[in-house]
């Protein structure tokens, strides 16, 4: 823990982790102890709290090395701009920074600071450097700050952090793979959409988005590896499709709509990972639009909603949507789950430094009726397997397998 007003939230985090049977050792910087007393954390964690790098007793036993070897995971919450800068430059002048430098386990940070400090290019460069070294970021969230300002910089809620950590601790990266049964989708038919759509303006121009197809292709690959039959309806991407998937290449939202809705009833699961255009030009011009006036206006019309159409089919598959959001992730995702009558929705942040469009890594907050699960930041292939595992869990509960065996 570092010193910041969000330090009080760390007490709840320790309590939640202990409730999940995690063994917790708390290390506090000097300034953290000025916000909340070490005694509070000793009582909550059931372990002595470490605060000093040069403790005459601890250092005989090389306290920081011992702690670094002991931990399966290090979570720095709250992580101030100061500790983020220290970690990024490899400084080691207190116990938190020194043990982080000595650690070989995954490191997670939950930043908490004033919004201007968070936005400062120095902090953003430090964050980018840490992410390149696979330090995982949880938050920060947007909202009102202790200083009265609005913006990104609030530490994520303890329950959200706890969920991230428990998922990470139970993932193959940290616990031995044999502790989880292998994912089996044998006998299932899965229809997946991936990539962007292109909506033509004229023969040479189109409207599109940043989707690379990586998330949808990772799902196709994961499903095939787990024994499913997969049809991949894909917008234009530069990825190599898995050889054993049935590949249907489309360009526009209308073509994707036709390709998906013509097939969906024959499948057990439909996963809409594609970033489908919500609007397309009302009329694509037959000739190249000429440069004339200073300003021009595009008339756009709504495309058909593929997910909602699949979900309203009489013999529908288990329908999983995605939600790509830049704010109020949970609110919008839940509205899409309800509004489009989906079985499940996997929400991800877009437009942030980490995850979302184009990146190799992503994290998801998955919602279904009556539950949710956070899948922590990891590479899209691993994340796809985790999402497929969740889908199967939910389907088994609903008992909706159409093509057994
Ligand atoms: O492709 P990558 O670079 O790997 O990036 C992954 C991703 C960010 C594209 C992916 O994880 C993701 O979020 N996909 C959905 C993007 C999107 O269009 O989100 P949305 O919130 O605008 O749409 C919600 C859902 O409705 C999506 O499942 C979408 O496929 C579906 N939709 C949208 C419009 C439409 N006309 N028909 C649809 O079916």
193 in the same domain as 173? no
3-class DSSP state for residue 336? helix
CATH number of the domain residue 312 falls in: 3.40.50.10300
For residues 212 and 70, membership in a common domain is answered with no
The predicted-structure confidence for 350-381, as pLDDT tens digits, reads as follows 988 888 999 999 999 999 999 998 888 888 99
Domain shared by 223 and 146, yes or no: no
Domain end point (choices 179, 205, 226):
179
Q: What is the pLDDT of residues 7-39, one digit of tens each?
A: 999 999 999 999 888 999 999 999 999 999 999
Pairing of strands 361-368, 371-379: antiparallel
The set of protein residues with a Cβ atom below 6 angstroms from ligand 1 is: 211-215, 253, 272-276, 278, 303, 305-307, 321-324, 336, 348, 350, 356-358
Query: Which pLDDT score, from 0 to 100, does residue 180 have?
Result: 52
Least Cα distance to 257 among 230, 228, 235 occurs for 235
- Domain membership of residue 164 as a residue range: 7-179
Report residue 65's pLDDT band, with 50, 70 and 90 as the boundaries. Answer: confident
Predicted confidence (pLDDT) per residue in 237-256, tens digit: 999 999 899 999 999 999 99
Is 175 found in the same domain as 194?
Answer: no
Would you state the pLDDT for residue 281? 98
Tens of pLDDT along 117-166? 999 999 999 998 888 777 888 989 888 888 888 888 999 999 999 988 98
205 and 165 both lie in a single domain: no
Q: Based on the domain organization, do 101 and 249 belong to the same domain?
A: no
122 backbone φψ class: left, alpha, beta (φ>0; ψ -120 to 50): alpha
Please state the separation of Cα 355 from the chain's center in Å.
6
Q: Which two tokens stand for residue 336?
A: 């899409």
Model-level pTM?
A: 0.65
Counting ligand 1 atoms within 8 A of each CB, the residue from 193, 323, 325, 352 with the most, and so the one to mutate, is 323
Mean pLDDT of the region 61-80: 85
Same-domain check for residues 193 and 159: no
Q: b/e map of 288-323 (b: 16 or more CB within 10 Å)? A: eeeeeeeeeeeeeeebebbbbebbeeeebbbbbbbb
Ligand 1 centroid from CA 273, angstroms: 5
Choosing from 195, 197, 211 the residue with most ligand 1 atoms within 8 A of its CB, the one to mutate for a pocket test is 211
Q: Are residues 158 and 265 in the same domain?
A: no
| Domain presence at residue 320 | yes
Residue 279, by phi and psi: left (phi above 0), alpha (psi -120 to 50) or beta?
Answer: beta
Query: What pLDDT band is residue 174 in, cutting at 50, 70 and 90?
Result: low
CA 140 → CA 53, 119, 217, 223, 228, distances in Å? 28, 11, 29, 32, 37
User: Structural domain tally of the chain?
Assistant: 2
Instruction: Answer yes or no: is pLDDT of 177 > 60.
Output: no
pLDDT at residue number 178: 41
DSSP lists the bridge partners of residue 287 as none
Q: Please check the confidence at residue 57 and state whether its pLDDT lies above 80.
A: no
Average pLDDT over residues 179-207: 91
Average pLDDT on 68-86 reads: 94
How far is 234 from 229, CA to CA, in rounded Å?
A: 16
Q: Please list, in sequence order, all residues whose beta carbon lies within 8 angstroms of the beta carbon of residue 27, skipping any fewer than 6 positions away.
A: 1, 49, 50, 51, 67, 95, 96, 99
Does the pLDDT value for residue 283 go beyond 90? yes
Which residues are within 8 A (CB) of 124 and not within 5 positions of it... i.e. 6 or more apart? Answer: 118, 353
Please report whether residue 379 resides in a domain.
Answer: yes
* CA separation, residue 196 to residues 69, 208, 277, 337 (Å): 44, 7, 8, 21
* Mean pLDDT within 97-116: 93
Mind listing the pLDDT tens digit for each residue in 294-337? 999 999 999 999 999 999 999 999 999 999 999 999 999 999 99
Measured CA to CA, the distance from residue 273 to residue 322 in angstroms comes to 6
Average pLDDT of the chain is: 91
Counting from 1 in the atom list of ligand 1, the atom nearest the Cα of 260 is 39
- The proportion of the chain whose per-residue pLDDT surpasses 70, expressed as a percent, equals 93
């Amino acid at each position: 823990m570092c010193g910041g007003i969000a330090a009080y939230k760390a007490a709840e985090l320790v309590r939640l982790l202990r409730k999940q049977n995690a063994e917790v050792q708390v290390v506090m910087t000097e300034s953290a102890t000025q916000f909340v007393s070490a005694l509070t954390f000793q009582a909550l964690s059931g372990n002595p709290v470490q605060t000093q790098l040069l403790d005459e007793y601890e250092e005989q036993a090389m306290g920081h090395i011992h702690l670094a070897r002991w931990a399966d995971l290090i979570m720095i919450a709250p992580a101030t701009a100061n500790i983020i800068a220290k970690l990024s430059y490899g400084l080691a002048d207190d116990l938190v920074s020194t043990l982080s430098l000595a650690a070989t386990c995954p490191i997670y940070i939950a930043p908490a600071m004033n919004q201007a400090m968070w936005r400062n290019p120095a902090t953003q460069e430090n964050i980018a450097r840490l992410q390149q070294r696979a330090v995982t970021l949880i938050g920060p969230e947007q909202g009102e700050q202790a200083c009265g300002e609005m913006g990104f910089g609030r530490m994520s809620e303890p329950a959200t952090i706890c969920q991230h950590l428990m998922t990470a601790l139970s993932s193959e990266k940290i616990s031995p793979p044999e502790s989880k049964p292998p994912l089996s989708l044998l006998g299932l038919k899965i229809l997946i959409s991936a990539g962007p759509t292109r909506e033509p303006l004229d023969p040479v121009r189109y409207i599109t988005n940043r989707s690379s197809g990586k998330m949808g292709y990772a799902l196709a690959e994961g499903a095939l590896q787990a024994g499913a039959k997969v049809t991949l309806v894909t917008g234009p991407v530069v990825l190599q499709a898995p050889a054993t998937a049935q590949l249907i290449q489309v360009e526009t939202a209308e073509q994707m709509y036709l390709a998906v809705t013509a097939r969906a009833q024959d499948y057990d699961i439909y996963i809409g990972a594609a970033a489908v255009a919500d609007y397309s030009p009302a009329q694509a011009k037959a000739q190249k639009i000429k440069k004339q006036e200073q300003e021009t206006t595009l008339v756009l019309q709504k495309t058909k909603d593929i997910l909602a159409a699949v979900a309203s089919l009489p013999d529908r598959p288990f329908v999983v949507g995605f939600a790509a959001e830049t704010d109020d992730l949970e609110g919008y995702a839940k509205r899409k789950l309800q509004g489009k009558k989906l079985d499940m929705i996997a929400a991800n942040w877009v437009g942030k430094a980490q995850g979302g469009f184009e990146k190799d890594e992503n994290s998801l907050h998955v919602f279904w009726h009556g539950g949710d699960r956070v899948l922590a930041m990891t590479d899209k292939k691993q994340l796809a397997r985790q999402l497929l595992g969740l889908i199967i869990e939910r389907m088994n509960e609903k008992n909706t397998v159409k093509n057994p065996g």
